Amino acid sequence: MSLREESSTAHAPAKTVLRGAAISGSLRRASANTGLIRAGLQIDHVDISDLPLLNTDLEAAAGAFPLAVEAFRDKVRGADCFLFASPEYNYSISGPLKNALDWASRPPNRWGDRAAAILSASGGSGGDRSQYHIRHVGVALGIHFVIKPEVFTKAHQLPRKFDDDGNLVDPETREQVRKLLLALQAFALKLQGKSADSE
Ligand SMILES: Cc1cc2nc3c(=O)[nH]c(=O)nc-3n(C[C@H](O)[C@H](O)[C@H](O)COP(=O)(O)O)c2cc1C
C-alpha cells in the first residue's frame, strides 16, 4: 500500500496523494513497533525521541514551543493521516507516545479531524489494552480511528516475527499491516470527501 500514490499519466487520472505520518511508541533501536512501521513502506516515520518531557513551563509564550516540539507539531499538522505503532507498557500507552500526543495537543491542537490507524507489537497481550487507551486519548484530540482490521502482534512469540534489528520477517503480519494501511487510506480519503482516483 502506498500513501503516496503514483502521479497521473495522459491515460490515467491523477491519484490522490496522502501524506501519512507514522509514530512509533518505542524508542528502542531494534523496536518491533518501529519495524512494523518500516514494513508499511512509503509512510514517513516521524521520530519522537528528541521531544522533551512535557512541561508547559517550556512554552515561552502562548504557541511558542521548544524547537523539537515545534518541528514535531509542524509534521503532525502537515499530515493527512496517522499510523501509531506502539508497545503496551503495563496495560497502557507507552510514555514516549503519550508525551508526543500531549505535545501536539497543546493549543492549537494539531491532531484534529484526521484519520488514524493503530498497530502494536507487545508481549503476551499483543497490545490490545494499549490500543484501546490510544483510542480513548484520541477522542480528546479529535482523531478518527480505523476500527478494523485490528492488528495485535505478539512480538516475542516463536516462530520469530522480527529479526535482531526489529525488521518484520513474518509474511502473515506483513499482510495484516498491508490491509490495515489500505483501510487507513480508504478512511482518510473518505474523511476528506475524496476517492482514490480523484484529481
Ligand atoms: C515497562 C514495560 C512494561 C510492559 N508491559 C507490557 C504489558 O502490559 N503487556 C504486554 O503485552 N507487554 C508488555 N511489555 C512488553 C513490551 O510491550 C514488548 O517487549 C514490546 O516488544 C516492546 O516494544 P518494542 O519492541 O517496539 O520496543 C512491557 C515492557 C516494558 C519495558
CA dist., res. 131 & res. 110, Å (int): 20
| CB contact at 8 A, 69 and 51 | yes
Dist. CA 160 → ligand 1 center (Å): 16
| Residue in 89, 125, 160 to alter for ligand 1 test, most ligand atoms within 8 A of Cβ | 89
Radius of gyration over every alpha carbon of the chain, rounded to an integer in angstroms? 17
Q: Decide: 36 in ligand 1 pocket, CB within 6 A.
A: no
| CB contact at 8 A, 34 and 12 | no
Q: Whose CA is nearest to atom 30 of ligand 1?
A: 89
| CB contact at 8 A, 16 and 190 | no
- 116 has which bridge partners? 82, 145
The pLDDT score that the predictor gives to residue 58 is 95
CA dist., res. 155 & res. 124, Å (int): 8
Place of cell 512509503: 42
C-alpha cell at 72: 514535531
- 121 has which bridge partners? 153
pLDDT tens sequence for the chain (199 residues):
456 544 344 455 556 678 999 999 999 999 999 999 999 777 899 999 999 999 999 998 777 999 999 999 999 999 999 999 999 999 999 999 999 999 999 999 999 999 999 999 999 999 999 999 999 999 999 999 999 999 999 999 999 999 999 999 999 999 999 999 999 999 999 999 976 655 4
- Cα–chain center distance at 3: 12
Q: Decide: 89 in ligand 1 pocket, CB within 6 A.
A: yes
Q: Decide: 80 in ligand 1 pocket, CB within 6 A.
A: no
The pLDDT score that the predictor gives to residue 43 is 86
CA dist., res. 15 & res. 94, Å (int): 35
CB hemisphere CA count around 176 (13 angstroms): 18
CATH fourth-level superfamily of 20-191:
Flavodoxin domain (3.40.50.360)
Q: Whose CA is nearest to atom 11 of ligand 1?
A: 123
